[in-house]
Amino acid sequence: MHPEPSPTPTPPPTLMVTCVPAFDDNYLWLIHGDGAAAHHVAAVDPGDADAINAVLDAHHLTLDAILVTHHHGDHVGGVTALASRYHVPVYGPANEDIPARSIAVQGGDTVALPTLGLSFQVIDVPGHTAGHVAYVGHHALFCGDTLFSGGCGRLFEGTPAQMLHSLAHLAALAPETRVYCAHEYTAANLKFALAVEPGNRALAAYAGEVAALRARRLPTIPTTIGRERAINPFLRSRLATVRDTAARHAGRAPADDADAFGQLREWKNEFRG
């Protein structure tokens, strides 16, 4: 007798992401898998219900869930209307006030989206806000306003130490991880990054790529963790060259790594390059 052949394993679903521009520079995200369930989607940080509804209706998509990273209005402004229309679960950070939230999440939790064939791990990333979270899975990161290409979010509620720790957590992800942040800030961020590291060749080359994309009105997102490690001063704040440049601008030596990061962030806040 011949042994029964082993069943062919089912390949994991491929994550598909649709960018939905909103307001002046926001990116809202619709995510779904491939194959038979491709018409089932989840919305990430849907600050504008009309923009999401327009894409759902135009492409006959079914909204099955909403994922929220933090409480700012440009990320949650459309949540109540969408949740009411589609009667879907709303996942949001446990330590923030999220409208229509039905499932509170925090670092270490898993968000399973069975109708999409997808699941994501939750990471706590306080700094921009006190309870900010990110979602990672399928070689993709949805990080709201924590990490931008070439930059990071302002510290509205958190401390430099918190943001430094949060960014270190994200930087430890696999280098091929695609980064889906929530704003088109890349060109402005790179002007600052070049002021910090004018001799960074990878940064200079990337700035040229970004300029070409924006000249054609194309998005610069997603970026990747590997690229950000090479060009983003906020992921490189422990390097002597970055640290020393920020200290010279601040006019004093930093007390520790968190203080050095804070000097860099304060410089960016006032930068008009």
In a domain, 5, yes or no: no
Q: Please state the domain count of the chain.
A: 1
The confidence score (pLDDT) of residue 8 equals 54
pLDDT beyond 80 at 46 = yes
The confidence score (pLDDT) of residue 6 equals 56
The confidence score (pLDDT) of residue 36 equals 72
C-alpha to C-alpha distance for 232 and 236, rounded to whole angstroms: 6
Q: Which long-range contacts (CB under 8 A, 24 or more apart) does 83-87 make?
A: 85/49, 85/53, 86/62
In a domain, 7, yes or no: no
The confidence score (pLDDT) of residue 105 equals 98
In a domain, 4, yes or no: no
Q: What percent of the chain has pLDDT over 90?
A: 92
The confidence score (pLDDT) of residue 9 equals 55
In a domain, 11, yes or no: no
The confidence score (pLDDT) of residue 218 equals 97
pLDDT beyond 90 at 80 = yes
The mean pLDDT of 38-55, rounded to a whole number, is 97
Q: Kindly give the interhelix angle for 160-171 and 257-270, rounded to the nearest 10 degrees.
A: 100
Classified as helix, coil or strand, 139 is coil
C-alpha to C-alpha distance for 122 and 158, rounded to whole angstroms: 19
Determine the structural domain holding residue 80 and report its residue range: 16-270
- CATH number, domain containing residue 90: 3.60.15.10
The confidence score (pLDDT) of residue 249 equals 96
Q: Which two tokens stand for residue 150?
A: 């070439």
In which residue are the tokens 């280098």 written? 175
The mean pLDDT of 222-238, rounded to a whole number, is 98
Band (7; pLDDT cuts 50, 70, 90): low
In a domain, 8, yes or no: no
In a domain, 90, yes or no: yes
- Is the CB of residue 47 less than 8 Å from the CB of residue 66? no
Catalytic residues: 70, 72, 74-75, 128, 145, 183
User: Within a 10 A sphere around the Cβ of 180, how many other Cβ atoms?
Assistant: 22
Whether cis (ω within 30° of 0) applies to the bond prior to 222 is yes
In a domain, 2, yes or no: no
Q: What is the pLDDT of residues 50-64, one digit of tens each?
A: 999 999 999 999 999
In a domain, 218, yes or no: yes
Band (126; pLDDT cuts 50, 70, 90): very high
Q: What is the pLDDT of residues 88-98, one digit of tens each?
A: 999 999 999 99
The mean pLDDT of 125-129, rounded to a whole number, is 98
Mean pLDDT, the chain, rounded, equals 95
User: Residue-wise over 141-156: b if at least 16 C-beta within 10 A, else e?
Assistant: bbbbbbbbbbbbbebe
